[in-house]
Amino acid sequence: MHTIALADIQKQVALLQIAERFFDSVTLFALFETGVFKILSSGPKTLQEIQENIGGDEESLRATLDAAVALDVLSKQNNRYAASESTLDCLGREDSPAYLGEWVALLHALASPLFQLGDAIRTGSTPGALFEDMSGDNIPAKRMTTAMDAYARSRGIEVAERLDFSQTRRLLDLGCGPGTYSIAIVQQHPHVKATLLDFPGPIAEARRLAAARKMEDRLEFVAADAMSYTPAEPFDAVLVSNTLHMIGPAGSLELLKRCYQMLTPGGRLIVQAQYLNDDRVSPRWPTLLSLIQRVATPHGRNHTIGETKEWMEQAGFQNVKYVRFSVWNVCSCLIGERPVHS
Ligand SMILES: C[S@@+](CC[C@H](N)C(=O)[O-])C[C@H]1O[C@@H](n2cnc3c(N)ncnc32)[C@H](O)[C@@H]1O
């Protein structure tokens, strides 16, 4: 047997740094799921103090806490475990504006199907049809919808601030999920009447969130499949936000054609998305969003700015323009018009 050369060990170490990255996620998910961050939000605690609060198996808890320290998720001093203030704002304090717990819970639910990505490649299967049952007020629908709200409320308000809604009276938020964007638009532009449309599960959650924010009376809710919905009256603007990636290219073109029919001549379609650049390998998050769709939806995948513009033009929209938001916002918009004489 040959001894392994230092250069080969260095190659292995570099490779293992990639292969072992999932340990970061699993410790973070376990600490969040068991409520450890909430407990640490009042200050550093010993193993016994944490265990008294959450119960369960002491050795598994100790192993997770110690690994979390080794991975820099937690720190340990004088036998007490602690989390940084920024981690606690994101995962321990529900009233913090930075709180992201619902989004991390969705990522946790996605981890198991993502570990079966190889199956999706080999067989074209959908290992975790997490988004499939949106027909009722159930756990997957609530988990997804509250996660969208966590994402949108922290960085999504720009759509209301940066786009011009001065000519918009009737807005349809198609595939509204939690309705966070519509709430922001209606708050900033009180003359806008927004109709929120989604399947029954997300609509039930959207109603609850709107009621909690005392906005229920300012919004109309429609539980329906957008592919078969015909409005009684056309809209001045339709917002399709972060929805096309769930339904894939053929579904997207069909949906955009339906949007065209739902608009008044001269009306606007706003397609907000976490767009891939036309090179398809950047930015980082949109490429990962595509992986999520491949394991959790039958036809979904993320889409580029260029191909979305083409779909909009094929559906009949004109003057399609691209609007970027701040550098920290992964979302951006394409806006097209239904021609006035159409
Ligand atoms: C990823 S969520 C985005 C939610 C919200 N628009 C946002 O940007 O935060 C996509 C939403 O589109 C909805 N959706 C997908 N296909 C739909 C259809 N055919 N009819 C109605 N809603 C649909 C899903 O149920 C889901 O709530």
Task: Choose the weakest-confidence range: 107-116, 143-152, 255-264.
Answer: 143-152
For residues 243 and 163, give the distance between their C-alpha atoms in angstroms, rounded to a whole number.
19
Reply yes or no on whether the pLDDT at 1 is more than 70.
Answer: no
Task: Indicate if ligand 1 lies below 6 Å from the C-beta of 179.
Answer: no
Residue 153 — pLDDT band, cuts 50, 70, 90?
confident
pLDDT tens figures, 176-187 = 999 999 999 999
* Residue 342 reports pLDDT greater than 90: no
- Reply yes or no on whether the pLDDT at 20 is more than 90: yes
Of residues 129 and 8, more confidence is placed in 8
Please indicate whether residue 154 or residue 328 has the higher confidence score (pLDDT): 328
At 3, the pLDDT band (50, 70, 90 cuts) reads: confident
The whole-chain average pLDDT of the chain stands at 94
Q: What is the pLDDT of residue 144?
A: 86
Give the domains, in start order, of the chain with CATH numbers.
Answer: 6-99 (1.10.10.10), 118-337 (3.40.50.150)
pLDDT attached to residue 47: 98
Mean pLDDT throughout 55-74?
A: 98
Can you give 117-178 as a three-state secondary structure string? HHHHHHHCCCCCCCCCCCCCCCHHHHHHHHHHHHHHHHHCCHHHHHCCCCCCCEEEEECCCC
Mean pLDDT over residues 115-131, rounded?
87
- The rounded percent of the chain whose pLDDT value lies above 90 is 86
pTM of the model as a whole:
0.93
Burial of 65 (0-12, 13-18, 19+ CB in 10 A): buried
Ligand 1 pocket residue status of 149, Cβ below 6 Å: no
Q: Does 198 contact ligand 1 (Cβ within 6 A)?
A: yes
Q: Find the 314 Cα to ligand 1 centroid distance in Å.
A: 22
Is any atom of ligand 1 closer than 6 Å to the C-beta of 260?
no
Rounded average pLDDT over 172-196: 96
Residue closest by Cα to atom 13 of ligand 1: 175
Residue 241 Cβ inside 6 Å of ligand 1? The answer reads: yes
Answer yes or no: is pLDDT of 317 > 70.
yes
Q: What is the pLDDT of residues 200-244, one digit of tens each?
A: 999 999 999 999 999 988 899 999 999 999 999 999 999 999 999
Over residues 297-323, mean pLDDT: 97
Ligand 1 pocket check: which of 243, 274, 325 to mutate, most ligand atoms within 8 Å of Cβ?
Answer: 243
For residue 203 and ligand 1, the question of a CB distance below 6 A is answered with no
pLDDT at 289: 97
Ligand 1 centroid to Cα of residue 240, in Å, is 8
Separation between Cα atoms, residue 293 and residue 275, nearest integer Å: 14
3-state secondary structure of 34: coil
Among protein residues, the one whose CA lies closest to atom 11 of ligand 1: 175
CB of 148 sitting under 6 A from ligand 1: yes
Determine the pLDDT at residue 131: 64
Q: What is the pLDDT of residues 126-150, one digit of tens each?
A: 888 766 666 777 777 888 888 899 8
Q: What is the pLDDT of residue 109?
A: 92
Q: Is the pLDDT of residue 59 over 80?
A: yes
Ligand 1 centroid to residue 177 C-alpha, Å: 5
The response to whether residue 240 sits with its C-beta less than 6 Å from ligand 1 reads no
Query: What is the predicted pLDDT for the residue at 245?
Result: 97
Q: Are 75 and 69 in contact (CB under 8 A)?
A: yes
| Bridge pairing between strands 332-337 and 263-273 | antiparallel
Would you say the CB of residue 316 lies under 6 angstroms from ligand 1? no
Q: Is the Cβ–Cβ distance between 296 and 110 less than 8 Å?
A: yes
